[in-house]
């Protein structure tokens, strides 16, 4: 048996066996690399989908925040306008000139409840 292994045919068979073994190992490595590549592509696709969803959420959140800011600005502007109207009405009531009575003394007019309500809640 040892003589056969050391002969040219035996060495050729050993060489063929080694080459076949190397081919099997390289085939297994290639398959492993292909599997790793497929897994990496799947992972990339998942990450891209997550990024796309995140960007969509960010865009929607920006739109909601912009809308909320606009609503707050409009509400604030409305409150300021109401306060200005109320201030102007109160100023008209307070700055009415006093009329003089028969003796020449200044007498202020009574402010009606409706007029006061209108000044406080225009």
> What is the full DSSP assignment across 81-101?
HHHHHHHHHHHHHHTPPPEE-
Determine the Cα–Cα distance for residues 12 and 69; give it in Å rounded to an integer: 83
What pLDDT, in 10s, does the model give residues 31-57?
999 999 999 999 999 999 999 999 999
In a 10 Å sphere around its CB, with 0-12 CB exposed, 13-18 middle and 19+ buried, how is residue 122 labelled?
middle
Domain boundaries in the chain? 27-120
**Residue 107 · residue 100 · CB < 8 Å:** yes
What pLDDT, in 10s, does the model give residues 57-82?
999 999 999 999 999 999 999 999 99
Q: What pTM, to 2 d.p., does this model score?
A: 0.52
């Amino acid at each position: 048996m040892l003589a056969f292994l050391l002969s040219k045919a035996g060495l050729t068979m050993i060489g063929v066996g080694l080459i076949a073994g190397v081919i099997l190992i390289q085939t297994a490595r290639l398959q492993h690399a292909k599997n790793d590549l497929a897994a990496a592509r799947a992972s990339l696709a998942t990450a891209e989908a997550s990024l796309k969803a995140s960007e969509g959420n960010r865009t929607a959140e920006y739109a909601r925040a912009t809308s909320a800011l606009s609503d707050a600005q409009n509400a604030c502007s409305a409150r300021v306008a109401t306060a200005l109207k109320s201030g102007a009405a109160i100023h008209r009531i307070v700055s009415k000139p006093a009329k003089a009575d028969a003796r020449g003394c200044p007498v202020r007019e009574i402010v009606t409840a409706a007029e006061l309500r209108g000044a406080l809640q225009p």
